[in-house]
A and B are shown apart, each in its own frame.
Chain A
């Protein structure tokens, strides 16, 4: 059974801190890993990673994938209160014409002023 595990489950930091969120996966015929930010109900897309060792960056957020060790990390530098959210990691398998993501439970990040 495909599985995605995120850690920590929750994290409380102060503004300006740097955080690292972890995601490990066991997925049959792995194809890509995606990160989402969920503030209220709808997750919003952050990154999609398909190749090992290539960092993706968007402002203060960055992410990298290790396909040998089956994990990914999401880094947020100089955190702001607006970064408070649940961060979801999801792994996609190569299911032919089907598209299926297996999600982790998420990391709840709270950034205090």
Chain B
């Protein structure tokens, strides 16, 4: 199965700054997904990133706040812009695997704390 690496693993950020999270997969994948998990909440899909096209954002998430890059089939970045304490979350990169590519597999996650 694919190995998904994320960095940073964790960070403490100041209000108003931006942080970019990197996701590297050891095999080529068509779609990469970015999820957020706020404290005590369920995982929520931010956007789906396809190589060579604009990311597709879910309701409540906008490109200005969460710009995504997908320069090739093994790499993606998510930037959390102009952070506020409400952005303190675990951010997870994920890809499809398994028979028929039906199972979402997650990276180790990036835990961001915004002061």
Contact = CB atoms under 8 A, between A and B. Distances in A.
Interface residues of A, number: 21
Interface in A47-93: 48, 88, 90, 92
A41 B42 contact: no
A14 interface: no
10 contacts: A40-B109, A41-B108, A42-B108, A42-B109, A45-B98, A48-B102, A88-B42, A98-B48, A98-B56, A100-B45
Provide the main secondary structure of the chain A interface: strand
B98 A48 contact: yes
A30 to B, nearest CB: 14
- Chain B, interface size category, equals 20 to 34
Interface string B55-93: 010100000000000000000000000000000001010
A88 B90 CA distance: 15
Given A41-B109, A42-B109, A99-B33, A104 B42 contact: yes
Given A32-B102, A41-B111, A103 B44 contact: yes
